[in-house]
Chains A and B, each alone.
Chain A
Amino acid sequence: MSVPVSLSLETVRCELAAATAYAAAAGLELDASELSENTLQFHVVFWNMQRKRFTAEFDCRDYSMYPPTIEFVDATRTLRGTPALYPAGFHGMPCVCARYNRKAYTERGGPHGDWRLVDWQLPTGNGVAIDSLAMILSDLHSKISQSAGRLG
């Protein structure tokens, strides 16, 4: 099952208001200039505790029925998904191992066959539910800003 592109685009645009406010306050660089029905993507630059730069790509196809696919890319956005592009602390696949990342699910080669995509907004353990783009940015901001070095 898939979500009409126009509906996903509308949902992402709506949620980007809160995500952009959070990103601006946190010193993250959110670039949604390419967001369109043809490119349901935006990018966010995070900084680790050593002020090293990490760029994450959010592919929002089928959002919000399914979570975005989050991948770290290089500054030119041509190289993607290598350990050297990831901050330290994430799954060695490499992958942001969280319910809010479609790449973490088995259908995308991820480690989690025990999760259902439609349940992505459920909390993990007894933690808060990461159920919106702003919450995803906050979770990643918290983890990356407290990490040092690269995954590979």
Chain B
Amino acid sequence: MTTTAHGADASQDEAGDERHGPPHVQLQVQTPRGLWSMTEPEEAPRRPDYPISTKIQVVIDDARTVFKFVENDTKYTLFLGGEMLAPERTLASYHIAPDALLVLSVQGGNA
């Protein structure tokens, strides 16, 4: 079973169940290892479907999990267009639209 990033059963969401609480937004996250979306990668353990009150750091952590970026001594940054998103802020604070394409940049260790 695939769960959404907030833990709900994706099949229920796709069936159009009404959800309580804050509005949700479904995102796409491009990483150097591929695109994370509601359908890709097929075997993803979770989907980028978030309450708009979710912090950016949570999206970063989930994208890392999906693409197995396990190294902690690495800088992971989320971008929207050319804007770097602050991890402590929420999705709502950036007025992120449904299906927005975010970019996870991954910076290796320094020589």
Hey, which chain A residues are within 8 Å of B69, CB to CB?
128
Whether the pair B73, A125 counts as a contact (CB closer than 8 A) is yes
Hey, which chain B residues are within 8 Å of A125, CB to CB?
73, 109-110
Task: Give the interface of A toward B (CB within 8 A).
Answer: 18-19, 21-22, 25-27, 47, 51, 97-99, 104, 112, 123-130, 132, 134-135, 137-139, 141-143, 145-146
Whether the pair A128, B71 counts as a contact (CB closer than 8 A) is yes
Given contacts A127-B71, A128-B69, A145-B79, contact A135 B35 (CB under 8 A): no
Supply 18 further A-B pairs (C-beta < 8 A) apart from A134-B32, A135-B108, A138-B32. A18-B34, A22-B32, A26-B79, A51-B82, A123-B108, A124-B111, A125-B109, A126-B109, A127-B73, A127-B109, A128-B74, A128-B106, A128-B109, A130-B108, A135-B32, A139-B106, A142-B106, A145-B105
B64-95 vs A, Cβ < 8 Å mask (1 yes, 0 no): 00000101111101010110100000000000
Hey, which chain A residues are within 8 Å of B6, CB to CB?
none
Could you tell me the distance between the alpha carbons of A47 and B107 in the complex, rounded to whole angstroms?
Answer: 16
Could you tell me the distance between the alpha carbons of A125 and B79 in the complex, rounded to whole angstroms?
Answer: 25
Whether the pair A139, B73 counts as a contact (CB closer than 8 A) is no
